[in-house]
A and B are shown apart, each in its own frame.
Chain A
């Protein structure tokens, strides 16, 4: 894997996070390198969401270090993380359904055209770039003023990913991008992930679906009850082992026996 020649873009060392008496993260270490897809797995409540929110600047860690390209960072808002190059695509908060694809794509960073003293959005540029970026990701829009609500779930994720890539993300955090999607849409999102990885962007792919993780992942880290259970490389671990680690072993084996197959 060529990606191991590089140093990590983001390195999270021994992160803890407390919410009052609740210890959400209890010493999590994680890194992502350019051009790799690092899957973060874990069952509900394992701390995945808290962890990526720490990485993307929503939460401040209670202790631990965040290194970005070797320098220690102190993000105080999602905007800081974004400006450094960490983009996050949230599961259901990625897009605003009533707004057009263009308006969503450029939201927060609208291109400006000046007409005398008036500053307005350069819609010609915005529309052209949006159509072009979407075409690169394999989605042909009917028109750039089509409302995002008319797109499928997978297409919405793709718009969000294309947006992050266009604005120069070096690390892309995807929060359960496939959890609400059908089979074909999932495949489209996974292939988008692959395209993005080939551009040299580091991807953090959060999921609780082992098969989706194994389809695109280079490395796999399992979180359980706020702790990392370990990191494995592609080919070193079987789906069954991953599944067992996520669920915490024991009970899962018994359950699977009664269900007669991989969950």
Chain B
């Protein structure tokens, strides 16, 4: 043994190990989690510029159309991404969306509470359910897949049950009239920066209505709060995950919970708060949606949990946790929105969107597994 040991206390071995190859710029770039998202985004834009470039997809209204759809995906993808990095899943996101919308409708329309109270109560309720999800997962040690699958059914069941027994129907309308003059509702259903769009139409960059009672007004009145929420959540999520101490704990909790615990990271607290954040994102989605539609339906949000997870995986996150990027997930959501609406603009049967989802999910997972091998040096 001793003949191999370095002389104790001697100069440290400072020469570079000749067997470690320098990682080239290309390879360094390849291990960024956002790679798949960036390549995919460029690919879908090129594709639709070629095949649907003259269909109106890229004029002001077209852009607003797929931006809104992408923003919806983005809001839930940010939550799903951070939760997946923390090593857990939430399959109850879709049901949570339906549940939250219905909760606002019942509180605000049926019980006629002011909408701001309905919204705040719903947020509190959803975040509490997220906390229960998280508590059950960390206290029992069960896979979050199973626990949140249970909540997928529980929440959806209640979402159908309550309006049925209270109102004898599964769609509750009238939220738009109830929300009139409310101070909180515009934060979800309103639009901002109207003057920017006015200015853009003045300089001729976007079209104006040519006839009707709004003739002369720009075709877009402002930036919908839905998009503001999406961008805001992406920026905050990205900052928290990559720049803060808590973000480091999220990576650690998902990378190896036991190792994290041993250095004092409060893994349980981190995971529970990520479940709560995911519920918060679902609730933002739901609130924006009911404000836009003016109604809540018991079937809202179906399959959204899977779409969120697929966006996150396209964004480079590993299903096993500990690795991922909010910006990547946002790009995954953008790809979704562009493809879903692009197929419509290109006149392709929209059911093919599902086929696309499946295929791209498969490619993304294969690519991620390969990238993971590069990072960890596994063979």
Contacts and interface: CB of A to CB of B under 8 A. Distances in A.
To the question of whether A and B form a pair in one complex, the answer is yes
Interface of A: 78-79, 82, 88, 90, 93-99, 103, 106-110, 112, 118-121, 135-138, 140, 142, 147, 149-150, 183-184, 186-188, 190-191, 194-195, 198, 211-212, 215
B255 interface: yes
B1 A138 contact: no
B375 A187 contact: no
Interface stretch (B5-13, B129-137, B170-178, B334-342): B5-13
Contacts of B139: none
B259 A212 contact: no
29 contacts: A78-B264, A88-B262, A90-B259, A93-B258, A95-B259, A96-B255, A98-B251, A98-B255, A98-B375, A98-B376, A99-B322, A103-B252, A106-B248, A108-B252, A108-B264, A118-B239, A120-B244, A121-B245, A135-B12, A135-B14, A137-B12, A140-B15, A140-B17, A150-B375, A183-B4, A186-B4, A188-B6, A190-B1, A195-B8
Nearest to B15: A140
B2 interface: yes
Can you list the 10 inter-chain pairs with the closest CB atoms, starting with the nearest?
A149-B376, A138-B12, A96-B255, A187-B4, A108-B263, A108-B264, A120-B243, A110-B245, A150-B377, A187-B5
A96 B248 contact: no
Nearest to A106: B248
B16 A187 contact: no
A186 B6 CA distance: 11
B4 A211 contact: no
Nearest to A211: B1
A97 B255 contact: yes
Contacts of B17: 140
B23 interface: yes
A96 B259 contact: yes
Contacts of A190: 1, 5
Interface string B243-261: 1110111011001101111
Given A82-B264, A108-B264, A198 B322 contact: no
Contacts of B13: 138
A103 B259 contact: no
A149 B252 CA distance: 14
A196 B234 CA distance: 44
Given A78-B264, A99-B252, A149-B377, A94 B4 contact: no
Interface of B: 1-2, 4-6, 8-9, 12-17, 20, 22-23, 239, 243-245, 247-249, 251-252, 255-256, 258-265, 318, 322-323, 372, 375-378
B120 to A, nearest CB: 24
Nearest to A193: B8
Nearest to A78: B262
A197 B265 CA distance: 27
B245 A119 contact: yes
A88 to B, nearest CB: 7
A29 to B, nearest CB: 25
Contact of A96 (B8, B15, B260, B264): B260
A121 B249 CA distance: 12
A108 B249 CA distance: 7
Contacts of B377: 147, 149-150
Contact of A186 (B1, B9, B255, B262): B1
Given A108-B265, A142-B20, A187 B1 contact: yes
B58 to A, nearest CB: 37
A94 B323 contact: no
B278 to A, nearest CB: 21
A119 to B, nearest CB: 7
Contacts of A98: 251, 255, 318, 322-323, 372, 375-376
A215 B4 CA distance: 11
Given A96-B251, A99-B252, A190-B1, 15 more contacts: A78-B264, A93-B258, A96-B255, A96-B322, A107-B248, A108-B265, A109-B264, A110-B248, A118-B239, A136-B12, A147-B377, A149-B377, A198-B8, A215-B1, A215-B2
A107 B265 CA distance: 7
A198 B251 contact: no
A97 B376 contact: yes
Contacts of B245: 110, 112, 119-121
Contacts of B251: 96, 98-99, 103
A56 B265 CA distance: 15
Contacts of A211: 1
B256 A93 contact: yes
A94 B262 CA distance: 8
B6 A187 contact: yes
B18 to A, nearest CB: 12
B76 to A, nearest CB: 24
A31 to B, nearest CB: 23
A194 B8 contact: yes
Contacts of B6: 138, 187-188, 191
A191 B9 CA distance: 8
A119 B244 contact: yes
Contacts of B5: 187, 190-191, 215
Contacts of A187: 1, 4-6
A195 B22 contact: no
Interface centre among A94, A99, A138, A186 (most CB of B within 10 A): A99
Nearest to B243: A120
A188 B5 CA distance: 6
A107 B253 CA distance: 10
A121 B248 contact: yes
Given A90-B262, A121-B245, A191-B5, A96 B12 contact: no
Contacts of A121: 243-245, 247-248
Contacts of A135: 12, 14
